[in-house]
Structure 1
Amino acid sequence: MTTPERQGDDAGAQEPSIHPRSVLGRLPRYAAGKPPVVVDGLQSYKLSSNENPLPPLPSVLAAIASQTHINRYPDPMTTALRTALASFLAVPADDIVAGAGSLGALNQVLATFAGQNDYDAADEVIYPWRSFEAYPICVGLAGAAGVQIALNQDGTHNLEAMLAAITDRTRVILLCTPNNPTGPILKKAEVASFLQRVPAHIVVVIDEAYQEFVRDAEAVDGLAMYREHQNVVVLRTFSKAHGLAGLRVGYSVSQPELTQHLRVSAVPFAVSQIAEQAAVTSLEHFDEVRERVQGIVDERTRVVEGLRKLGWTVPNAEGNFVWLALGDNTPEFAGLAEQRALSVRAFGTEGARVSIGEPEANTRFLDLCAAYPHGPGLS
């Protein structure tokens, strides 16, 4: 089909180009974990996205299959989910705001409390780095200025540096525990001290996407912090432990002083009725979820101990992944994993994050590390 030529005096004139907001040119692009390549004779395993290697519980799959009213909009208040969570977490249902995964819940927090205000300078959001790679994207799209604080050498948050970075423009601080991609948790004593020193008007987000995998007795409990501080928001998700990453259901927990505003910015119908029913059913069978999570934790222990026996230096891992500070060797290592039908998440020349997967995948990963001479900590 031929497009008709433009007529009139403007014929042949160059059309003005359409430009996005200038901030897009300054933001990194989110890079999802790549699927594994197909290698003849080998089962492929994806260890690049921190997904649960197991499908949802059979009862959850049945609940999903039973949904027939998808011609109707979901409940915008996600009443069933918030009611179930209120009982499960022992918090008021009104303190819970659902979102499309914990990332959706985070975007709602940023849209509410940080951005371009009625003065020239943008609000500031302080967060650790390296941490969840969506942080700079979410902060930038909200119209805020990100303030990245380098992690300590062992992959933990530098809370003192984060406190020192607070200015009159600081509106939100993000804490990620366990930190993705490095793995260590924040401890309750240090977070309690930190919150005592943060001005009360600054919102502190405790991102606990991997909370169910934590076994360190000294780990901070975000819900305990929320109960004590009106400026704390806790983020959690059904994507990891519950194996519902594809349904996008998460939530925030905060006191009414914050939730009254978060409900204004909450994306309408962000959680589908299918996702809501799946999450509620998974909570009803949490003993089974806990058993599955423990299996992943046991595999994590095997992998970490195996790496350390090889002489590799590995940060304490409290999520469903391990961090390899490979530096300039990162691309080479990721390529070798690919040849073995394993996909890992490489971060430039900083390191690689490897999810805990099926036992066979974890064993193959350890075999690769045993043959690789340039692991972190090796001479």
Structure 2
Amino acid sequence: MSSDLRGPEEPLAAVRLDRPIAETVTPRPALSRLPAYSAGRPPTPAEGLTPYKLSSNENPLGPVPAAARAVAAVDTLHRYPNPTAESLRAALAEHLQVPAEDLVAGTGSLGALTQILDAFVGSGSDGEPDEVVYAWRSFEAYPIVVRTAGARDVMVPVTADGRHDLPAMLEAITERTRVVMLCTPNNPTGPALTHREVADFVAVVPRDVVVVIDEAYQEYVRGEDRLDALALYRRHPNVAVLRTFSKAHGLAALRVGYSLAQQELTRHLRAVAPPFAVSTVAEAAAVASLASTDEVGSRVETLIAERDRVRAALLDDGWTVPEAQGNFLWLPLGDRAGDFAHAAGVQALAVRAFDGDGVRVSIGEPEANDRLIALCRNLPELRRAS
């Protein structure tokens, strides 16, 4: 606004700007296209029953003692954190045997994904939105962060058994595609991609398309031909790997994760990454947990044993339960998902219903898992629906 718009004694209120003025403040048009994120709800108390939250894929065993001690020892709450989580990146570099420059910290793996989208998608030079290809149903936050970045999401339906349809995803790539996302194990349906599947896929994706491998649950994967995402990152400059301390490490409340990619990508991610994103408390806990991998691994094995036990019981009772490689199970109940969630709520179990698709149930404490098995045995009509 130039100074000649008003006289020396004229109040600012008298100034007239040379542009039309709307009656209200309006947000970006992209916000009107955002679905709401539905976080897992806490359980509803029921008389005589201990309530259990099985709706958010949290680790019921919590963090290892060393991480809890590291949190308690932080006495610098009045100081800013390390700008780029240097201590955590150094610890990860040693643990993974990668350069620290290939690591970018974020607020959970979702924060790290947001950095990738901020750096590589938006609108093209012609004003049209870029495209991001991913499987669906998959992580509920994907359409939110993609559309917030100003891009168009291209959802490729998963197969009947909840797996990524990789040939169809390749077919969905166009000249407008900037990012392809693979969620493995897929949340909420459960199956994991094999190394051969992903290696063959990445080999034919155009080099100018970023392939994001979201491995939030990678510690829980078992079976043959497990994905070695680090080998693919080392071979392909367009591959970025996402990991988090929220799940296996039990640090969900602290919001700390990271991306791993060659510097061809990370130099752009550092440009958009907000400084001080990872708190001092979160960084200290993550470093301590990383140094306690044996204890973390033991807790993971306990949850895997529970996961396999519960799935086997449900399969024996006639339920359809896809391959489960995370710390959760998927019940493909379709339109009956809400009925199951209500029945679980009566039993003081909070589960995550996806209307029209199914129900995701996190693996919790043994008592919670036993109650889930009993609940399913008492719902034969829903078992048939699955």
Q: TM-score, normalised by structure 1?
A: 0.95
Q: CA deviation at 1:128?
A: 0.4
In structure 1, the partner of 2:162 is 155
1:230 matched residue in structure 2:
237
**Amino acid of the structure 1 residue aligned with 2:157:** A
Pairing 1:172–2:179 present: yes
> How far 1:209 sits from its partner (Å)?
0.1
2:101 aligned partner: 94
Distance 2:24 2:323 in 1: 50
**Aligned residue type for 1:346:** A
- 1:372 maps to 379
Secondary structure in structure 2 of the residue aligned to 1:364: helix
2:81 corresponds to 1:74: yes
Q: CA offsets per residue over residues 229-270 of structure 1, 9 Å max, x none?
A: 110000000000000000000000000100111100112111
Deviates more, 1:337-346 or 1:213-222: 213-222
CA contact (8 A) 1:314 1:376 kept: no
**More off after superposition, 20-29 vs 176-185:** 20-29
SS in 2 for 1:65: helix
- For residue 3 of structure 1, what is the aligned residue in structure 2? none
For 1:12, the equivalent position in structure 2 comes to none
**Count of residue pairs brought into register by the alignment:** 368
- Aligned residue identity for 2:226: A
Maintained 8 Å contact 1:184/1:315: yes
* SS, match of residue 381 in structure 2: coil
1:180-219 matches, within 5 Å, as 180-219=187-226
Matches of 1:177 and 1:219, distance apart in 2: 10
User: 1:114 and 2:121 equivalent?
Assistant: yes
1:185-236 deviations in Å (ceiling 9; x for gaps): 0111111111111000100000000000111222212111101111000000
Identity %: 57
Helix, strand or coil for the counterpart of 2:380? coil
One-letter amino acid of the structure 2 residue matched with residue 163 of structure 1: L
Which of residues 320, 326, 347 is equivalent to 1:313? 320
Matched residue type, 1:240? K
Give the 5 Å matches for 1:1-379: 16-376=23-383
Q: Which runs of 5+ in 2 are unaligned?
A: 1-12, 15-21
Instruction: Using the TM superposition, give the Cα deviation of residue 157 of structure 1 relative to its aligned residue in structure 2, in angstroms.
Output: 0.3
Q: Deviations over 1:43-74 (max 9, x none)?
A: 00000000000121122111101101111111
- Alpha carbons of 1:376 and 1:118: their partners in 2 closer, same or farther (altered >3 Å)? farther
Q: Secondary structure at the match of 1:374?
A: helix
Structure 1 residue identity aligned to 2:313: G
Please say if residues 180 and 210 of structure 2, whose CA atoms lie closer than 8 Å, have aligned partners that are also in contact. Answer: yes
Q: Show structure 1 runs of 5+ residues with no match.
A: 1-6, 9-14
Q: Is the 8 A contact 1:325 1:376 kept in 2?
A: no
Equivalent AA in structure 2 for residue 322 of structure 1: L
Describe the SS at the equivalent of 1:311: coil
Name the Cα RMSD after superposition. 1.5
| Runs of 4+ off more than 4 Å | 376-379
